[in-house]
Structure 1
């Protein structure tokens, strides 16, 4: 149950992901030609956007709305959603937090599914709690998601009964309410009780102008969550969970008419209250002029500024407003391209910057800029971002920028159009959800594509340049500055920051668009032919060996129309770098991947590729180096050209190196303020047996790093392609692409060095390890328990480990969450590897109150001991087998899954055909096998416990 939906004036995820204030809001997507437009009003304008003919929209006599669409992707699956126009904004003073609590109670007992029966039934049907079965609560809505198989008629049809139970028949058993109080409070602890939450509580009242939104955060109030009566939450449910505020959305591989009948049968009996309360429509009042808020926190490691200019929200209902949304998307793209160029300077003026015009909240849009500065560099950062918006307002965009943005947008809409019969059902659900909640139109991809292609050329430079004047203003503007408490005296006051913004536009010159007309490659290289070819008809692959030693595994698919995935590797990686050169080597892949290629810097390369659906980048990790990326079929040759150039003509950019070093040092400056970062350093030391390569770098090591060493290391790692294996998966004909493979991959350099990795033994030391880190000012503890040791890597052992992981997850949810009410959700991860040596680890992680650490660790060990003594319960094995079978069926229809699987089997020397017997092999999981696996791998004499506790007072 996730109430953690992000409200942010920019996409700065690493700053807001944990906040229980900023992170509560369901963020609407930025308008784009792929997902915008909106529904017709009762009296439609003449140019109203149409409704997609492939979606059946209806309304029951009780007012419940439904959306039904047949969609075959994924096959034999459906997405069922219940959408309620009821969120925390509707809570009374005594109900704060109960919209979210109501969502929790829907999984803890309904008329037809008492207590935990609903979750238990779905798990046995292959639906994984949390990953598949989930929900979220926001200010204005609560949404339940239920993905189900459709090849089981009984399970699929039962899904509509489940949705109806959520919609009108939640039990609110007082005993279950009391058990769930701790779970909800622990969810708040997990997602909040950190610097970002505390800063948000200071800044949101300013950003939201002390509106109701500022006082109705979905997380609620702790004292209410602890003490409310069942009658109080029942009152919220009775008032607002009613059919005239609800929608059922069903998209999937099913018969539409049968689904409509199921909705009518299950939901027609729901009734509205005899005297329903009017559903208030809350807004945020505009603020005259500019309001400035300076906020600090002891544990906040960054310094940042946000400039937010708020405007009335415009719902896109007509072709006119649709065209405006297209212009807005182009505007955002071009302005952020300029900011990205500033980031490539040797002395970047900021660590991060982003601007956008997008929906905010409370019927507001906002032109927002966010910038994260280096320590003591806020003035430079703010002025740099503001200067770009002012440059735009004074001089406008260039024609080449606009044409490039149009081409990039066309690529996006083309991809959506080409994939229209392969679009995932969840994508349609999101569109229909927005249509119900806010009126966003759903004209369908055919209309959008044709409209876009026919009208994009009509967007003029004058229209685009006028947008800056419309978006940028000093009215209804909020400026927020956040920073570490220790730097409070260094932060600007209101007068100073207004002066920075007011003077940032002085002495500006027009932007110069640095473009090139040169081709990516002047001529084709001399390639080499395919020497051997082997087909594997069982899984539909073809393996080629080229004359230079490069191996290529091809798997053509029809899962996506416009996608080809490319992944190539050879062994070696940074394990071959000396300790003295490691820091330089560790940056090699990132630096070269950010420096452009051949004679083109990164900015020029990005501009050259703007009209192509292609993305290729090199990487170097601990034991391998390689190339990964994707392209459309039409841009496949360009993708291979990039692969060839990253091998043969990598670019060394001193500016990128210097900028990366400066920014990395800046990020390290206040890292010690963040409890999680300090904890992570200790955890890394434990997991690597104190090998410095595994943890965060230091300024001292950065000072000793060298661009020449990094570049030489990169060239050395890519000097010999004879050991490379490439896996190519997607929509292609193997015979038609073979000449391209011979031309480009066949031309890669080969010296036949036959290198491999070194085993640096970066794993936990044997024996018991207990480490406690005391950092943090609030009552929040993090526990990690890591079992590890030697491992024989094979399909049979891997299957048993996967089963142990899920069984342990089920038992810890039942014990630590449901019985102890001590955590929100455990993380259980069983990992295993063959390279550089056979090793396994089973990691258990949870967040809780400091006083509960010992009790919950003991409870965890108790559950582990039960499995070791008696094995898993047959019911839990049944749940794992059902979930694994369902997920395998889905993954066998995904390019990304096949790409990862074929790379893994190649690296580990396994037979890829084993995937075909994976589901059948699930019967190898037995009570006895889980007992044996637990005893073998969950050995308390080889257990590391690393715990983060708040600072001692």
Structure 2
């Protein structure tokens, strides 16, 4: 289900005379100037293309887009888009588009066998998170972000794209090896949702080809096709007229264009190319209904989908309509959100979206997650709100508030235009090629939106609902656990519910807002007691008159982003098990409620259009706040911080809503094999400890509203041991008044407390635990080692190296050599408090007959690295990856917030990033080998294995 996001794209609106004569900046495109200066707007006027992009097409039909962008510096992102996906496959080719995508990583003209991944890892490119690809119904897309400061690497990166475009080797032995990997990918996706999808997809796709062309394909084809078939598929479809290269980054566009022409101009052109037919989904002009249940489904989902012919966004008029759709969705979702927060919500979650579907269709989708046995209540509640808008529309205050939020989002995007990451540009150009979607420049998008947004009318937005919320081409889809089967409606009953709601005497929506200020009284200003520069990282430590410590790090990484983190020792650890549930829920309950003088709904409306978010929390060992703001919202942010210390609340309705939803969600969770597996793991490691196990109804019933608020107030009663870390686009002069007026005014009792050691540790000796749950013939394996740890910078770095090196080795062996898994990897973690401990985990999914041998292979890799250590090549991959990542991280506000906050909480020097590379260069094969021998202890190994119900060891 798509989530609506304000201003996901720019929107155009009708002109008024006043707007048409508005100031038109000189830095927008000529096309945009014509639009903004027009006396009368032509709705069929084409939207201007981003002129900051160098776009071209070679004689062979190959298209390219090149844009210079220096965020991040010394990096470039390349995408190869192919207008070919699973929809072009024949019955005998089902899955070959996706299979071909895999084969492009298993042998190219200039990178034979697995040389591609190996070469790029040596350059610091991470397989999976950086180097990746995907196959959809209508397209296949490859991505490669690489450093651009190495001419040889940049040249070879382009060669990779050229090889991907047409020079896959498709060797028989590599094809045979890849069958098992794709089979494991397919196996991993099997479960309740896949079984239900097989039943509802034909309905959802109106019986079209899409229902039988899921990109993963079929087991019969994947495991049995003749290699000649995929070679022919490659020859038919991987051709220049169906491909584009997108290059965005810190590069010279002129030189890049010359290289693209040199490399891609000689691509093979078919004399009689296979026709790329456009496959669509026909409207049936009737309503459909399907109800599907499954024994492993953990919740009940209801969906109403109303299909319409696609409205392509090409002109001013098209853009105007897109804005209206989004405004409509935002307003109705706000109303559904209010219902969710009521004392007895009719559903667990709900939403409405008008967006692109597929196959040439758009749709209005309304969905809700039902409470067990209360499907009718949820269904009617969603329909009721849709009908309420149809009958009474929206209020002027709702409309103005939502438009204001979009205007603010437009301003925010524009302010950060020169800090936009290269990745954020790629999809616009990709969709321009694949779907003829618009690609506006930042300047055009901002100026056009700014000029036209105020002209939108409430009447027009309401009319959008009338157009899309209709009684034809409507599908009702119900997905539910088997246990709910007898309580679910049939189609006739659902049709009756639509009619029942239509006959109800609905009343207009009451938009309740408050004109009260957030805080009931102004804080009493404090002072700055001391200041100390931390020159190595460009930061400053400030101590306020009430004892609050603040670390400031001004940056220029963003133009208007300020991140805030605050913490204090204590958390839930200082409360008894009897109080634990109330303590653990206290932060969530306060955060879900209003603040100061505003209740929940009033607070949400008060915050609309503000780029501010402050949230309190109580974790096991700390309590604190986290959030962000822009400069305009700083006063609100600090008011919220002060309010969460001095005027918190847990409202009755919110308490009942949150707790009822929490309890309701327990109903069918035991159906889910993964939940049962994780629960057994936790129980094996920690017994029935209330602080580790997922809460059941009896434990949730222990949460008391009054006690939760009491605990929250206790945690935030004394600010003297709080530390605030503030990072971002501010100056000391700008931020200090807020420190004095708000943070220095926080209550302080100067109590001394520390988090308690709860002495919750894993057993000293490992065991094997097999859990039988689920219908699918697949195994899920988790191997875990726990123990005491020596916490220091060198140990931490070497453990990180061991994690990366073992992950790479396991991918090479379990996936590439043995074709036994789709994905795997090692994960290491460690802690300093309450005691120094570590965990080392390896996880993978596979077939029920392969898991014992794959466990043995994993342990064999453990033993090899303990005996021989890593190779220098393996270590070099880790070092270069870390260096490359560090280069990017240093330009991120969130990295510095995390580093400074984390260091202060464990007593580490906050200037550690300045010696990070020095520590990294101290890692050797011998130091990694020593860490492996110290921590990969097989007597402490836990083997957790999830098998289907019918399979026993």
Q: Name the TM-score class by shorter chain.
A: over 0.9
Deviation at 1:37? 8.6
- Answer whether contact 1:79 1:146 (CA < 8 A) is retained: yes
* 1:516 corresponds to: 514
Question: 1:626/1:122 Cα in 2 relative to 1: closer, same or farther (>3 Å)?
Answer: same
- Answer whether contact 1:34 1:445 (CA < 8 A) is retained: no
- What SS class does the counterpart of residue 633 from structure 2 fall into? helix
- 1:888-921 Cα offsets, whole Å, 9 max, x none, are 1100100111111111011011112221221232
Given candidates 402, 405, 416, the residue that maps to 2:402 is 405
Distance 1:768 1:153 in 2: 50
Runs of 5+ in structure 2 lacking a partner? 14-28, 32-41
- What SS class does the counterpart of residue 850 from structure 2 fall into? helix
* 1:462 corresponds to: 459
1:290 corresponds to 2:265: no
Matching of residues 168-247 of structure 1 within 5 Å: 168-190=166-188, 192-247=189-244
* 2:763 corresponds to: 765
* Alignment coverage as a number of residue pairs: 924
* 1:846 corresponds to: 844
1:599 corresponds to 2:572: no
Distance 1:224 1:36 in 2: 44
* 2:426 corresponds to: 429
* 2:468 corresponds to: 471
- What SS class does the counterpart of residue 462 from structure 1 fall into? helix
- Answer whether contact 1:730 1:895 (CA < 8 A) is retained: yes
1:705 corresponds to 2:703: yes
Distance 2:8 2:192 in 1: 36
* 1:144 corresponds to: 142
- Answer whether contact 2:10 2:446 (CA < 8 A) is retained: no
Distance 2:275 2:161 in 1: 24
Deviation at 1:45? 7.6
- Answer whether contact 1:34 1:416 (CA < 8 A) is retained: no
Deviation at 1:646? 0.6
- Answer whether contact 1:82 1:145 (CA < 8 A) is retained: yes
* 2:34 corresponds to: none
Deviation at 1:272? 2.1
- 1:482-532 Cα offsets, whole Å, 9 max, x none, are 111232121111111121222223121100001112222355311211111
* 1:633 corresponds to: 631
1:439 corresponds to 2:414: no
- What SS class does the counterpart of residue 862 from structure 2 fall into? helix
Matching of residues 26-425 of structure 1 within 5 Å: 32=7, 34=9, 47-190=45-188, 192-425=189-422
Distance 1:315 1:687 in 2: 55
Deviation at 1:762? 2.7
| Structure 1 length-normalised TM | 0.95
Question: 1:730/1:341 Cα in 2 relative to 1: closer, same or farther (>3 Å)?
Answer: same
Deviation at 1:546? 0.4
- What SS class does the counterpart of residue 9 from structure 2 fall into? coil
Distance 1:793 1:347 in 2: 48
- Answer whether contact 1:34 1:412 (CA < 8 A) is retained: no
* 2:932 corresponds to: 934
- Answer whether contact 1:36 1:316 (CA < 8 A) is retained: no
Distance 1:229 1:534 in 2: 71
Distance 2:721 2:261 in 1: 61
Deviation at 1:346? 0.8
Given candidates 894, 897, 907, the residue that maps to 1:896 is 894
Question: 1:36/1:362 Cα in 2 relative to 1: closer, same or farther (>3 Å)?
Answer: farther
- 1:188-227 Cα offsets, whole Å, 9 max, x none, are 122x111011111111110111111111000100011001
Distance 1:311 1:920 in 2: 60
Distance 1:561 1:602 in 2: 31
Deviation at 1:467? 1.2
- Answer whether contact 1:597 1:649 (CA < 8 A) is retained: yes
Question: 1:737/1:30 Cα in 2 relative to 1: closer, same or farther (>3 Å)?
Answer: closer
Greater Cα shift, 863-872 or 649-658? 649-658
Deviation at 1:46? 5.3
Distance 1:900 1:749 in 2: 26
Distance 1:616 1:724 in 2: 16
Distance 1:364 1:926 in 2: 57
- 1:626-682 Cα offsets, whole Å, 9 max, x none, are 100001111112111101101100012011111111111111011111101111111
- What SS class does the counterpart of residue 102 from structure 1 fall into? helix
Question: 1:878/1:535 Cα in 2 relative to 1: closer, same or farther (>3 Å)?
Answer: same
Runs of 5+ in structure 1 lacking a partner? 1-7, 12-28
| Structure 2 length-normalised TM | 0.95
Deviation at 1:599? 2.2
* 2:745 corresponds to: 747
* 1:670 corresponds to: 668
* 1:864 corresponds to: 862
- What SS class does the counterpart of residue 629 from structure 1 fall into? strand
Distance 2:734 2:671 in 1: 56
- Answer whether contact 1:33 1:326 (CA < 8 A) is retained: no
Question: 1:45/1:663 Cα in 2 relative to 1: closer, same or farther (>3 Å)?
Answer: closer
- Answer whether contact 1:34 1:413 (CA < 8 A) is retained: no
- What SS class does the counterpart of residue 850 from structure 1 fall into? coil
- Answer whether contact 1:36 1:441 (CA < 8 A) is retained: no
Distance 2:303 2:761 in 1: 42
1:951 corresponds to 2:932: no
Given candidates 783, 798, 815, the residue that maps to 2:813 is 815
Distance 2:12 2:770 in 1: 53
Deviation at 1:730? 0.6
Question: 1:522/1:656 Cα in 2 relative to 1: closer, same or farther (>3 Å)?
Answer: closer
Distance 2:589 2:358 in 1: 38
Deviation at 1:765? 1.2
